[in-house]
Structure formats: structure tokens, C-alpha cells
A and B are shown apart, each in its own frame.
Chain A
Amino acid sequence: MGMSDDKAVEALGGSAIVTRLDSVIAWGRKFSFFTYPFITACCGMEFMSVAGPRYDIDRFGAALPRFSPRQADLLLVVGTISHKQAPILVKVYNQMAEPKWVFAFGACVVSGGMYDNYATVQGIDTLIPVDVYVPGCPPRPEMVLDGLIKLQEKVVATPNQNSYVRGIAPVGEADDRIVTG
């Protein structure tokens, strides 16, 4: 602390590489997302294509789907969320371990999409904080990968660890976290 990176390198005669622990950790986090594919509807087909051989999401390190929310850090909300499904989504989001990110995949998740009616949640951000919005019905795999790249840039741009702690969703019960210690 106290000396900027460039000045430090200069002081050492250019013989050292200087970085901060935060950026190293952010590097680690951005290249290994353990995704939780919360798939409910047709956008799941596009998720399958993105994970398939043609547009390989594994290239970005986000290949391993962990179906336990405790182990996942990227919640991919894919497909229409109805009001019946909303508490389940909030519960899964609460159960995820920090740091966690949410990826809104598809028009139904970003806003209600085509379904402006009594049954559909008009956008996930009314329930949980969202990091990247990917429009489309369904979004092309390239758009999904672009969203992932933007999420990686976001992870790198906010390396301060304290900015990641999200806590529980603003809706729902306070003891939904079901953790202790």
C-alpha cells in the first residue's frame, strides 16, 4: 500500500511483476465458474447448444455444472420463471455460497418477455440481484458467450472481496439461508 504498481516496478528496476492479491483471486474466479443451470423452459435448448461442441462454454472454464447450490457460484436462470417457481428460485439463490453471480438468460428472465400476464415474474431482478442480462428469445449461443465475457470483465473490474458479499435476497424469509457458523 502507498506505492502504485508502476512506481513499484520502476523502483525494482523492472525486474519484478507486481500484482495485488485481489486481482489474482479475481482472475481465478473469472476462469472457473461452477454454474448452476436453473433451467425451466425453452432457453434450456440454447444452454445445451452453448455447452455442446459447437459453441463450447468449457473454453471459458464454465463447464462443470454443480447441481448443489453450495458449490455453484454462477446461477444461470434459464427459462420463464412463474410465480409458483419464484420462491424456489429465491431459496436456491439464498443457499448459494458467496461469492455468487446471477446470469439472466433469455427475455423471459430479463423482463417477463412475451408473457406479460398474471403468472409470470416480470423480470428476475424483482427477486434477486442480477449481474448480466442476456436478451433474446432464445439468445443465440454467441450472445450467451458474450454475456459470459461481460461477466468475466465485471468480476475483474470489482476485485474487492467485500463487494461480493450479497447475503440473502431482498424478498423471502430472513432465515432462508439455512447455514450456521
Chain B
Amino acid sequence: MDTAAILETGAKLAFVIGINLGFFAPVLAWVERKQSAVMQDRIGANRADIFGFTVIGLFHSLADALKLIFKEDFVPRGADVTMHRLAPMIALIPALMGMAVIPFGGTYEIGGHAVNLVVADLDMGLLFVFAIASVATYGVVIGAWASNNNWSMLGGLRAAAQMFSYEVTMGLTIIGLLMYYQSLSLVEIVAKQESFWNWGIIYQWPAFILFLACAIAENKRVPFDIPEAESEIVAGYFTEYSGMKFIMFWTAEFIEVVTISALCVVLFFGGHHCAFISDAGLVALFGGGDLGNILAMLFGVAVFLVKVCVLIFIQMIIRWTLPRFRYDQVMMLGWKMILPLSLVWILFVGVAILTGLMPTPA
């Protein structure tokens, strides 16, 4: 590995982590407040000002972070001290790691060197994302169990059951898509979506609906937020967490929202591709050569981020519209409704591809 490759990977890693922790996490906290407010016919937080500038309430996220950092940090009596301190980290780090295989741009020729805008170009990228999502379950369960609290335990048990069942279902919903694209590598899947008619949403829209439902359930967001149901079990698995640990759980949840949106964009909505413009055409549009490639790269990243924001917006609408599912309804939905539907869809896709009804992209 020469220094250029190390620097390149370092830059990509810095971009991914920076934009997640620095942009998406605080902005998502702001979006949650503001979008819910505007949907509910009110103005959200808008009074936090630095020297008179209230930037439509963005400073409230900063105030939240500041306050939570300087809050008292403690471990409840009778709790397992090491596990209690470890759990938020186990919840946060896999959420960040999942972003490593998601391509936020294509391959560009800059300075005679092919720059592939993904931190880790794995052949089995999609499998990696699901595997890492499974590890995040440990953070929840350990945190719940280590708190020495009835409500945490209940929340943790519910979380464990819900996350495991929806992981199985999530994997199965994607298989139809994998048969369509004939690859597990996310970079290849994005590359095949250069033409608009190869986007996942065109032929695989049932898989999109099922995948979105499963992914929201995996992330424990409303309407599936049984593990952290406020009115039922105090605060569920993170009852006994405050301050920095609470920030870690909170941030992990928001980062997973971004990961799910990014995954949906990459699998179904063409990744960084602008519809009806091919890659080469885009570079030519920006003048070709090194500068054209750099501009095309920035444009691709911008398109990707815009699409991720649209998906986040849709998830927020779902969150603030729907009431919470009951726990048995959640389990029934996962095992008895989405799983059979995804199996039927796999069968249908298999038959359709064999008979040529669904033309696979090249």
C-alpha cells in the first residue's frame, strides 16, 4: 500500500465519519424537531442564538450536545459497571462501520489514478452491512441487561427479539434485488444503475417497501419503537443512561437512519447517478480531463446526499405520522406478513428472470 492509497482511504474515511457525526447527527436532531413542528402546525425550536443569530434553530442541536456532555455521568447501584460503560460504544461503532461499504460516488479518473468513492470496496458489501447491523444488537441488549432495572430489561428483551426477527426478514427482502443485479457488491450494484431504467425502484418496488419497513423496524424507530416506548416502559433500554452515554445511543439511532437511507438510495435509487445522464456524459459536461472529473465527483456526491436527505425526510414523515405498534403486532408483522411476502417476491423474481419478463441489467 503506497502512501497515496493510504491518504486516499484516509480522506474518504474522514469524509464519511465527518459528514455523519458532524453534519447528519446534529442536523437530524434538528430535522426531527423542526419537521415534527411544521407538520404539527407549530414553529419548532428557534430561539437559541449566538450573538443574535438564530439560524432557524440549528444551534439547539449544539445546545443539546453541550448540555449532555456536561451532565453527570454515573452507573446505577447494582449494575455491571464495565458493561454499562461499554454498551453505548457497542451500539454506536457498528452504526458508523456500516457506512464503510456504501459508495457515495462513482469511479473517477483524477491525475491518472482511478478514485473509487467508497471506503472499502468489498465483494460482499451488502452482507457486511447486515452483519454489522447484527452486532449493533449486542449494544442494546448489553446496555439493557447491565442497568439493573426492570424497564431496561423489558426494553432489552423486546429489542433483542424485534431486531433479530427483522434482520432475517430484511435479508430475505433483498434477495430478489440481488437476483436482479446478480451481485452482492454495492459498488457493482450502483455501477449497473447508470441508466435510469435500471434503477432498483423500477422493477423491484415491492422489495423497496418491504425493505424500508424492515429497516425501520431494525432501527427501532417509530412505529416500531417498542424497545424505547416512552409511555410503556419509561425509556426502555436506555433508562439508566444519561449524559455522554445517552448521546451515543441517540447518535447511533440517527446514524442508522442515515445508513438505511443511504442503503435505499444505493440499492433502489441509483446512488450518485443523475437520471438520464451517463457517467461519461457528465464528465464531458464539466469539461473533461482532471477538472471535469473532480467537478463530476462533487456533483455525484451532492446528488447522493440530496437523495439521502429525501429518504430521511420520508422516514421522518413516517415517524411523526404513525402510532406505535403493539409488541405482538410487531412480531406478527415481521414473521407472518413480511417474511411470506418476501418469499413470494423471490419466487416471482426468479420466474420472471428465467422467462425474460424482468430483463436484468447488463
Total B residues in contact with A, Cβ cutoff 8 Å: 42
Say yes or no: is B195 at the interface (Cβ < 8 Å to chain A): no
- A46 contacts B by Cβ under 8 Å: no
> What A residues does B64 contact at CB under 8 A?
28, 32, 61
Residue B47 lies at the interface, judged by CB distance under 8 Å to chain A: yes
In chain B, residues 64-93, which have Cβ atoms closer than 8 Å to a Cβ of chain A?
Answer: 64-67, 70-72, 74-79, 81
Q: A179: nearest residue on chain B (CB-CB)?
A: B74
Chain A-chain B contacts (Cβ-Cβ < 8 Å), number? 113
Asked if B70 contacts A25 (CB within 8 A), the reply is yes
Does A115 belong to the interface (CB within 8 Å)?
Answer: no
Q: At the interface, yes or no: B33 with Cβ under 8 Å from chain A? A: yes
Interface residue from B62, B77, B240 paired with A70 (Cβ < 8 Å): B240
Within 8 A of A (CB), among B32-51: 33, 37, 40-48, 50-51
Q: Chain B contact residues: over half helix, strand or loop, or mixed?
A: loop
CB distance from A122 to the nearest CB of B (A): 30
* Residue B199 at the chain A interface, CB threshold 8 Å: no
Q: Which of B37, B48, B242 contacts A97 (CB 8 A)?
A: B242
**Per-position binary interface string of chain A over residues 89-103, scored 1 when its CB falls under 8 Å from any chain B CB and 0 otherwise:** 000000001110000
Contact (Cβ within 8 A) A161 B234: no
Answer whether residue A13 sits at the interface, using C-beta atoms and an 8 A cutoff.
no
| Residue B239 CB within 8 A of the other chain | yes
Of the stretches A1-9, A52-60, A75-83, A130-138, the one at the interface is A52-60
Task: Report if A99-B71 is in contact (Cβ < 8 Å); known contacts: A32-B60, A32-B63.
Answer: yes
Q: Of A24, A30, A61, A99, which is within 8 A of B45 by CB?
A: A61
User: Residue B67 contacts which of A29, A53, A67, A180 (CB distance < 8 angstroms)?
Assistant: A29
Nearest opposing residue in chain A for B152, CB measure: A68
Q: Interface residues of A, CB < 8 Å — how many?
A: 33
Q: Which residue of B lies closest to A17 (CB)?
A: B51
**Residue of chain B at shortest CB distance from A66:** B235
Q: Is the interface of A mostly helix, strand, loop or mixed?
A: loop
Residues of A close to B43: CB separation below 8 A? 56, 58-59
Complex Cα distance, B48 from A61, in Å, reads 8
Q: Which one of A32, A54, A67 has the greatest number of beta carbons of chain B within 10 Å?
A: A32
Give Cα distance in the complex from A155 to B42, angstroms.
26
For window 142-180 of A, CB contacts with B under 8 Å fall at 161, 178-180
| B243: interface (CB < 8 Å) | yes
Closest to B37 in A: A58
Bound-state Cα–Cα, A65 to B64, Å: 13
- CB pair A31 B60 closer than 8 Å: yes
Chain A residues with Cβ under 8 A from B241's Cβ? 70-71
Contact A67-B66, Cβ < 8 Å, known A59-B43, A97-B71, A180-B77 = no
Within 8 A of A (CB), among B285-325: none
CB distance from A160 to the nearest CB of B (A): 13
Q: Which residue of B lies closest to A29 (CB)?
A: B67
Q: Indicate if the CB atoms of B70 and A58 lie closer than 8 Å.
A: no
* B-side contacts of A71, CB under 8 Å: 235, 238, 241-242, 246
Q: Name the B residues within 8 Å of A65 (CB-CB).
A: 230
A38 contacts chain B at the CB level, 8 A cutoff: no
With most chain B CB atoms within 10 A of its CB, the pick from A17, A24, A178 is A178
Cβ distance B84 to chain A, nearest Cβ, rounded Å: 9
Taking CB atoms, residues of chain A closer than 8 Å to B242 are 70-71, 97
Complex contacts, B40 vs chain A, CB 8 Å = 53
Nearest Cβ in chain A — how far from B25, in angstroms?
15
Looking across the interface, which residue of chain A has its beta carbon closest to that of B239? Answer: A68
Chain B residues positioned under 8 Å from A17 (CB to CB): 51
Q: Does B208 contact A (CB under 8 A)?
A: no
Q: Is the CB of A59 within 8 A of B235?
A: no
- Give bound CA distance, A149 to B40, whole Å: 24
Can you identify 11 A-B contacts, CB atoms within 8 angstroms?
A53-B41, A53-B42, A56-B42, A68-B235, A68-B238, A71-B242, A97-B72, A97-B74, A180-B74, A180-B78, A181-B74
5 closest Cβ pairs, A-B complex: A28-B66, A53-B42, A68-B235, A31-B63, A31-B48
Extra contacts, 6 of them, besides A28-B65, A31-B48, A73-B71 (Cβ < 8 A), are: A25-B66, A32-B67, A58-B42, A67-B234, A180-B75, A180-B77
